[in-house]
Structure formats: structure tokens, C-alpha cells
Chain A
Amino acid sequence: MVIYFVLTTFVPLAFLVGMSFTEWNIISPPRWVGLQNLQKIFSDFDNWFYLKVIGRTVLYAIAILTLNIVGGFFVALILNQSLKGKGLFRTMWYLPSVFSGAVIALLLRIYLAGSSQGVLNMVLNRLFGIPPVDWIYNPTWMPVIGVLFVVWQGIGFTVIFFLAGLQGIDENLYDAARIDGANDVQLLRYITIPQMIPVLLFISVTGMIGSMQMWEVPRIITAGGPNHMTYTLVYSIQNDAFGNLEFGLGTAQSLVMFVMLLVFIGWQLNQYRRQYGV
């Protein structure tokens, strides 16, 4: 078991690190180029192309994570009251997460078609009289749609975890505070949120790993366009490796992303440890 795990997890990781320092198109043997790939990524090559890709990916990831956590927490708070049909609402919130992102992205691509017969255009026109928009080629809307797509697919997970965390909080804490005259806002601020820190830590770490991985929208809908607005890091890795057969450059970007995630996770853990002693 350990051997299998090392072979299928750590050997590829070693491959990944090794290949980052080569130039290689799979046909001719790999050539050692040292730090050249990393230099390319962190330089003004092609008008800072790769740095822009990284910046864009991080920006979207922050937007996704924020919407996910704030929205998920709010919905979980509402679902945590004694309401009839709570289970049904929870199911509906989680439902988008069970589908294949690729298949749903394909569906989205069909919905977003630019003609007046495109589904979204059709509905918006009937409801609000909005003239047809060519969504997929719209550099303002497409990134927004991409971010919302990832949030849509992931927020159910967040809601379920927050809900479980909320239900784990000892009722006595609230009762005691109420006797002392605390109002709802104070209860939220001084009991609920501090009690939720472990769940919050878990969500922000797993959520960050997920949020950095937007690939369905560029791969299936936009091919990274319009104007590279949805050209994310994961798409760039795939495109360079399998599209342009630049395996060295692709893996170098993977390495950069991996290190970024590790730094982020380390920073988060440290932050929480310092502030809350988790």
C-alpha cells in the first residue's frame, strides 16, 4: 500500500519537479535548461503573459473564496433555524455539486449562445426585454460568469460544513449569554464566529485549493478568451503541455502553483494558530 502510494503520488511529484527544469516536446529527448522555464514565467516574456495568468487566477480565486465563505455562512445561518422543509432547501443548495463540471460547462456554453435563440438571451429578453448579448465573447461578463460557475458548483459543500459546525455549538453557551442580556448580533460576534473557527480554517484551505483550479470554463466554453480574460493557470498548464507540447513549461507552472498553494496553506495555519490557538 505504501509502495503503491509512493509510486502513484510522490514519483509523479518528483517527475514534476524534475521536468520543470527541462525543455521537452515528448518527441525528442528532454533537454536540461535549468531555471529557464521559471524565468520565462516570471519575466516580461510576451508582455508579462504568465504573470498576468497567475495574477488573474489569484484574483478569481479570492473572489470565489470570498463569495463561497460569506455566502455559504449566511445560508448556513438561515438554514440553522427551525424551519419546515429545511432538508429540501439544503439538498437544492448542494445539488449543483454532484454534477460533472465539464458536462455543466457544456450546458452553459449552449445556454450562453449569442444569437437571439440562445437560451439565456431568450429568457432575459422575454422577462426584461434585454437585447441579445454575445456572452462568450464579452470580456466583462465572461470572467464574472466563470467565477459564479465555480461558486455555484462549490458552495453547497461549504453550506453543509458550516451547517454541521453550527449544529455542533453547545446551546448552553447561547442560553448563558442571553441571560446576561446579549442581543443576536453579539451572540453571532462573540459565540458563533469564534466557535466556527476550525470549520472556517478547513473551508478556507480546501476552498483555496479548489478555487485556484478553474478549468471548465476556459477548456470547454471560451478557450481562454475573450482577450485571455478566462485564461487561468490550470488552463495554461494544460494548454502549454498538451496543446503546445511544451511539457517543461507546463510543469514549471504546475510547480509555481503548488508552491503558491503550500505558502497560502502555511500562512493560513499560522494566522489561525497565532490568533486563536487552534
Chain B
Amino acid sequence: MKRRRLILKILSYLFLTITSFVMIYPVLFMALGAFTTNDRFLEATILPIPNTLNLRLFQRALSAGVWDSYVFTLERCLFYIFVTIVVGLIGGYIFSKLRFPGKNKVFLLFLSGMVMPSILMLVPMFLQMAWFPLAGGNDILGQGGRGFIGDWPVLFVYGWVSPFAIFLFKQSFDMLPTEYEDAAKMDGAGIFTIIFRVYGPLLKPPIVALTIVIFLGVWNDYLWPSLTIAGRPEYYPIAYRIQSVILSDYSPVGTTDYPAVMVRTFLATWPPAAVFFLLQRYFVQGLVASGLKG
């Protein structure tokens, strides 16, 4: 019996080591390839072995618009993190602590938003933006111009109210006793003080979890920008920018400057990986807390 356990354990380790390697293999290949010369890259058997830190490649990539996209994408991430969390906290508080008729129905309305795949909403959202009244040469009925299409607001208008955030915060508020706010109310605290000052500090885990989820979502956003902001490079988010930047050095038949390509991919992918590594404890907690009680 004991021997069987031991064999099982060894097999588990073996399985996990091999499969984990396979899982990260494509990304690891790219990350290592970013620090090689082209000749060394082409010698790779299983993985390329780094032999250089070619700062020129990083510099060239950053000056080709990647830096601008960094700044712009980061601004967009911060905007969405702030708005989604503030709205989520208020919504979570309302649905958890307040009592009013029809509360459950309104909550269900929000939840129904979670099953609607946003990918199907792209076309109608595009039109909503194109028809936005008084924007981009449109008249008051939203006709005549191009609306917000090709302009920066298109990347900031949607998604302020996240059903996921509201749901996550409602669950978290449910677990906190109401005595906290009763004491604060006696001292004359208003509703916003109660939400952000009294409960806010107690809700650090879901707030951090949500920060990661939003950061990853916005940083990786490609589809919506690719449809609405094409032709305005100053507003290209990183995931969209990197495409044209990468393909400029890639040729499917001839010789590709692989390290240059890998450096660019690396520049687009290290921030989500870093954020995930640093904050993953919270991430797993928050994600699981939200899903399992649902």
C-alpha cells in the first residue's frame, strides 16, 4: 500500500512536470528567444539559449509606437479599474445591505448580463457608437457623421457597470456584519463614507482580485479596438499595435528576424504575466469566492 502511494506520487510529479512544461512552452520559447541573436535562435533544438541582451531591438520596438501604446493602454486600464471598482462597490452595497421593493429582480437583470457573450454585441455596439448623437459630425438624431468611430471615447464608453464586479462585491458585503455601518451612522457618516471608508478597507481581497481581472481584460483587449479605432495609431492599445509592429519584421517564406519579433511579443506579454505572478494569491481567492457561491 505504501509503495503504491509512492509510485503514484512519482508518477504525479512526472506528469505535472511534463505537462506544465508543455503549457508554458510556446511562451517560454518566445521569452528566451527575445534574448538571442538570430543565428543562435535558429540553432534551437528544444529551446533557444539566451546569449545577448540586444537593447537596440527593444529601443527600436519601443520607438515604433509601442511606448505610446504602453502609456495609452495603461491609462485605459487605470480608468477601467477605477470606474468598475467604484461602481461595483456601490452596486454590491445596494444589493447586499439596502432593502427596497424589486431588489431581486433588478439584481437578476444585472446577472443576465453575465450570460450575454460580449462578442455578439460587437456589431450593435459599433452602430451605437457610429450613431452617437452630436459626436463626430452627427446631428441630434445620430445621423450624418461617423459618431465616435475612430475616436478615443469609443474605447472608454462601455463596460463601466460590470455584472461580475457587482456580483463579487455583493457576495463580499454579505459576509460583513451590518454593525460596522451602524456605528458609523451614529457618527453621522454618509452612504459613500460607509461604502468606501468603513467597508472599503475590509474588502481588499475582492478589490485586488478584480483589479487583476480588469487589468488583464483591458490590457489584452484586441477585438473591439481593431473594429473601431483602426487608422488612428495614437489610440492603438498594445495588443492591437503589436500586430502591425510584429508583422513588419515577419515573412512566412523568406528569412524572419526572429529576435526582433520575439522582443516585440515579449514587450506586449510581460506585464500581464508580471501582474499575475505578483498578485496571484488574491486572484485565485477572489475568482473562486465569486464562482463557487454562485
From A98, A118, A247, contact of B272 by CB (8 A):
A98
**Interface of chain A: mostly helix, strand, loop or mixed:** helix
From A9, A92, A241, contact of B113 by CB (8 A):
A9
Q: Decide if B44 touches A123 in the complex (CB within 8 Å).
A: yes
Cβ of A83 under 8 Å from chain B: yes
Look across to chain B and name the residue whose beta carbon is closest to the beta carbon of A17: B124
**Shortest distance in angstroms between B275's beta carbon and chain A's nearest beta carbon?**
8
Look across to chain A and name the residue whose beta carbon is closest to the beta carbon of B33: A119
The residues of A that contact B120 with a CB separation of less than 8 Å are 16, 237, 254, 257-258
Question: Number of B residues contacting the other chain (C-beta, 8 Å)?
Answer: 81
Known contacts A5-B113, A92-B20, A164-B292; A103/B242 CB under 8 A: yes
A4 CA to B87 CA, complexed, in Å: 11
CB interface residues, B 44-68, toward A, < 8 Å = 44-46
Q: Decide if A4 touches B160 in the complex (CB within 8 Å).
A: yes
Write the A236-255 contact mask toward B (1 if CB under 8 angstroms, else 0): 01100110000100110010
Write the B7-21 contact mask toward A (1 if CB under 8 angstroms, else 0): 001001101100111
Question: Number of A residues contacting the other chain (C-beta, 8 Å)?
Answer: 79
**Shortest distance in angstroms between B148's beta carbon and chain A's nearest beta carbon?**
13
Stretch at the interface among A32-40, A45-53, A108-116, A173-181: A108-116
CB interface residues, A 74-115, toward B, < 8 Å = 75, 78-79, 81, 83, 88-89, 91-96, 98-104, 106-108, 110-111, 113-115
**Shortest distance in angstroms between A149's beta carbon and chain B's nearest beta carbon?**
10
The residues of A that contact B273 with a CB separation of less than 8 Å are 95, 98-99
**Shortest distance in angstroms between A174's beta carbon and chain B's nearest beta carbon?**
15
Closest 9 CB pairs of A and B: A100-B220, A102-B222, A15-B124, A12-B124, A92-B20, A164-B288, A254-B120, A100-B239, A98-B276
Q: Which residues on B are within 8 Å of A, measured CB to CB?
A: 9, 12-13, 15-16, 19-21, 23-24, 26-27, 29-30, 42, 44-46, 87, 90-91, 106, 109-110, 113, 115-117, 119-128, 130, 157-161, 216, 219-223, 226-227, 239-240, 242-243, 246-247, 250, 252-256, 258, 261, 265, 268-269, 272-273, 275-277, 280, 284, 287-288, 291-292, 294
What are 30 inter-chain pairs, A to B, with CB distance below 8 A? A8-B125, A8-B159, A9-B116, A12-B128, A13-B124, A15-B127, A89-B16, A92-B23, A92-B24, A95-B23, A98-B273, A102-B222, A102-B243, A103-B265, A107-B26, A110-B246, A111-B26, A117-B42, A117-B256, A119-B44, A122-B44, A160-B288, A161-B292, A164-B284, A213-B117, A215-B119, A220-B243, A238-B122, A242-B123, A258-B117
